[in-house]
């Protein structure tokens, strides 16, 4: 196919300064049923059907798929247009450089594949196999590069009233925050119950610990310890079950914060935010990530300590259980602080903006 022929079949969109198109098409597909017609016909109809199925995908889900891989910082997913063009805005030259590098290393298509092409979608489309690919065109990259370099020294700001998807993301965050408030009340009650049982919690650990055990380094180590002592006389496992259940609940809340706060915030144009708002959402993301890491089974608990709860434990037991115990109040406090930070972010929205 000649260059002219390639251009003639290339989907088009009204590109704004700083924007790129991620052009998605089908690399390979086979029909599930035998009466689907010719392979060429099936491929042609599949493209339209695929667009109809994914065109209304929540953009924060797409953004989140890349966020979890620490990719495409500064890239805003704007919308999807016919021809399956995923339109993105590059907030700065670094963002453009990063998305171009990801494209060249073929990192974009696999993430979009895992996001869009589920087993249920393939079944719905009567496809046995369905593999997509993604392309960014050189000419758009060059135009975008020139535009971003020209805008580098400008103090351009954007009006939130003109950014429908940004307002949609903020509504999503605010709706989730209402649920988060109720969750915080519940986990604080459970934290208080853990505090009441703290003496017994530590006593049972000390009573049953092996002679060579001087500290509990990780949750995986603690779970192994629980298996060993289960069924022993005078060992109330209920306090440990409540502890592990609370940690699981905290992990679920953090997953929801990542999905319904961090990822939507990553879809907000920085040019419609104040400097403080940008700092607040960055801190929310950092805090959520840190707490999720703390809850991982292999995380080093010996580095954790909650200063107020440290006072509740006698000094000789600090090495043994301080990190394990501190995990609860550190996470509960951190989630509460994220709730307050969301309020701080929203207080910075200019009067007159209608979400």
CATH code for the domain of 26? 3.30.70
Same domain, 342 and 210: yes
Same domain, 191 and 234: yes
Q: Contact, 294 vs 304, CB < 8 A?
A: yes
Average pLDDT over residues 276-302: 98
Round to whole Å and give the CA distance between 341 and 284: 7
Same domain, 114 and 180: no
Q: Is residue 315 part of a domain?
A: yes
Q: Is residue 56 part of a domain?
A: yes
Residue 152 has pLDDT above 90, yes or no: no
Question: CA 268, 272, 273, 278 torsion: positive or negative?
Answer: positive
Residue 187 has pLDDT above 90, yes or no: yes
Residue 1 has pLDDT above 70, yes or no: no
CA angle 45, 51, 145 (to 5 degrees): 125
Q: What is the pLDDT of residue 211?
A: 73
Task: Using alpha carbons, select from 96, 197, 106 the residue that is nearest to residue 151.
Answer: 96
Among 171-185, 207-221, 312-326, the range scoring the smallest mean pLDDT is 207-221
Same domain, 334 and 192: yes
Q: Which of 95, 126, 156 finishes a domain?
A: 156
Same domain, 297 and 169: yes
Q: Contact, 131 vs 27, CB < 8 A?
A: yes
- CB-based contacts of 132, cutoff 8 Å, min separation 6: 24, 25, 26, 27, 50, 109, 112, 113, 116, 117
| 90: its two tokens | 């590059």
Round to whole Å and give the CA distance between 55 and 57: 6
Round to whole Å and give the CA distance between 248 and 138: 47
Burial level of 344, CB count in 10 A (0-12/13-18/19+)? middle
Q: Which residue has the higher pLDDT, 336 or 7?
A: 336
Q: Which of 156, 180, 211 finishes a domain?
A: 156
Residue 37 has pLDDT above 70, yes or no: no
Q: What is the pLDDT of residue 4?
A: 43
Residue 39 has pLDDT above 80, yes or no: no
**What is residue 76's three-state secondary structure?**
strand
Residue 195 has pLDDT above 90, yes or no: yes
Q: Which of 97, 126, 156 finishes a domain?
A: 156
Please provide the distance, in angstroms rounded to a whole number, between the alpha carbons at the two ends of the chain: 48
Q: What is the pLDDT of residue 36?
A: 64
**Percentage of the chain modeled with pLDDT above 90:** 81
What band does 301 get if pLDDT is binned at 50, 70 and 90?
very high
Q: What is the pLDDT of residue 134?
A: 97
Q: How many domains does the chain have?
A: 2
Q: What is the pLDDT of residue 208?
A: 86
pLDDT tens digits for range 232-270: 877 788 999 999 999 999 999 999 999 999 999 999 999
Q: Is residue 352 part of a domain?
A: no
Same domain, 234 and 323: yes
| 131: its two tokens | 């593999």
Average pLDDT over residues 115-137: 95
Task: Using alpha carbons, select from 17, 10, 11 the residue that is nearest to residue 88.
Answer: 17
Residue 2 has pLDDT above 50, yes or no: no
**CA 158, 163, 169, 171: dihedral to nearest 10 degrees?**
100
pTM: 0.92
Q: Which residue has the higher pLDDT, 355 or 4?
A: 355
Q: Is residue 326 part of a domain?
A: yes
Same domain, 139 and 194: no
Average pLDDT over residues 128-139: 96
Residue written as tokens 């758009």?
140
Residue written as tokens 């022993």?
232
For 46-64, b/e burial (b = at least 16 CB within 10 A) is bbeebbeebeeebbbebbb
User: 69: phi > 0 → left, psi -120 to 50 → alpha, else beta; which?
Assistant: alpha
Task: Using alpha carbons, select from 221, 226, 219 the residue that is nearest to residue 293.
Answer: 219
**Percentage of the chain modeled with pLDDT above 70:** 97
Q: What is the pLDDT of residue 232?
A: 80
Q: Which residue has the higher pLDDT, 36 or 1?
A: 36
What band does 156 get if pLDDT is binned at 50, 70 and 90?
confident
Q: What is the pLDDT of residue 230?
A: 84
Q: Is residue 74 part of a domain?
A: yes
Same domain, 107 and 242: no
Residue written as tokens 């400097």?
275
Residue 154 has pLDDT above 80, yes or no: no
Residue span of the structural domain in which 100 resides: 18-156
Q: Contact, 124 vs 54, CB < 8 A?
A: no
Residue 86 has pLDDT above 90, yes or no: yes
The average confidence (pLDDT) of the chain is 93
Q: Is residue 3 part of a domain?
A: no
- Reported as half-sphere exposure (CB side, CA atoms, 13 A), residue 95 has a value of 22
Burial level of 86, CB count in 10 A (0-12/13-18/19+)? buried
Round to whole Å and give the CA distance between 61 and 73: 15
Same domain, 240 and 326: yes
Q: What is the pLDDT of residue 242?
A: 95
Q: What is the pLDDT of residue 213?
A: 80
Same domain, 99 and 231: no
Same domain, 281 and 299: yes
Q: Is residue 13 part of a domain?
A: no
Q: Is residue 354 part of a domain?
A: no
Residue written as tokens 């790129």?
20
Residue 124 has pLDDT above 90, yes or no: yes
Among 79-88, 148-157, 252-261, the range scoring the smallest mean pLDDT is 148-157
Same domain, 121 and 26: yes
Q: Which residues pair with 19 in a beta bridge?
A: 89
């Amino acid at each position: 196919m000649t260059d002219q022929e390639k251009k003639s079949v290339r989907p088009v969109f009204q590109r704004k300064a700083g924007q790129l198109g991620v052009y998605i098409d089908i690399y390979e597909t086979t029909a599930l049923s035998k009466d689907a017609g010719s392979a060429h016909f099936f491929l042609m109809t599949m493209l339209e059907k695929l667009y109809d199925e994914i065109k209304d995908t929540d953009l924060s889900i797409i953004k989140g798929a890349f966020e979890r891989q620490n990719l495409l910082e500064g890239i805003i997913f704007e919308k999807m247009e016919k021809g399956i063009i995923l339109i993105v805005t590059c907030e700065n030259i670094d963002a453009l450089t990063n998305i171009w590098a990801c494209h060249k290393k073929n990192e974009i298509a696999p993430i979009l594949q895992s996001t869009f092409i589920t087993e249920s979608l393939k079944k719905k489309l009567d496809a046995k196999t369905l593999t997509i690919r993604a392309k960014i065109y050189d000419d758009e990259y060059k135009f975008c590069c020139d535009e971003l370099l020209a805008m580098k020294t400008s103090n351009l700001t954007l009006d939130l009233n003109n950014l429908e998807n940004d307002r949609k993301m903020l509504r999503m965050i605010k709706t989730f925050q209402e649920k988060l408030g109720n969750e915080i009340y519940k986990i604080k009650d459970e934290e208080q119950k853990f505090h009441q049982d703290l003496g017994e919690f530590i006593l049972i650990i000390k009573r049953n610990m092996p002679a060579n055990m001087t500290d509990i380094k990780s949750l995986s180590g603690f779970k192994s310890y629980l298996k060993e002592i289960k069924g022993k006389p005078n060992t109330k496992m209920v306090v440990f079950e409540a502890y592990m259940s609370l940690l699981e609940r905290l992990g679920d809340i953090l997953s929801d914060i990542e999905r319904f706060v961090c990822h939507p915030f990553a879809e907000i144009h920085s040019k419609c935010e104040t400097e403080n708002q940008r700092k607040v959402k960055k801190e929310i993301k950092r805090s959520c990530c840190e707490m999720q890491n703390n809850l991982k089974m292999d995380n080093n608990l010996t580095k954790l300590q909650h200063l107020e709860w440290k006072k509740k434990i006698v000094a000789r037991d600090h090495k043994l259980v301080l990190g394990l115990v501190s995990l609860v109040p550190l996470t509960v406090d951190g989630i509460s602080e994220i709730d307050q930070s969301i309020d701080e972010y929203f207080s910075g929205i200019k009067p007159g903006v209608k979400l």
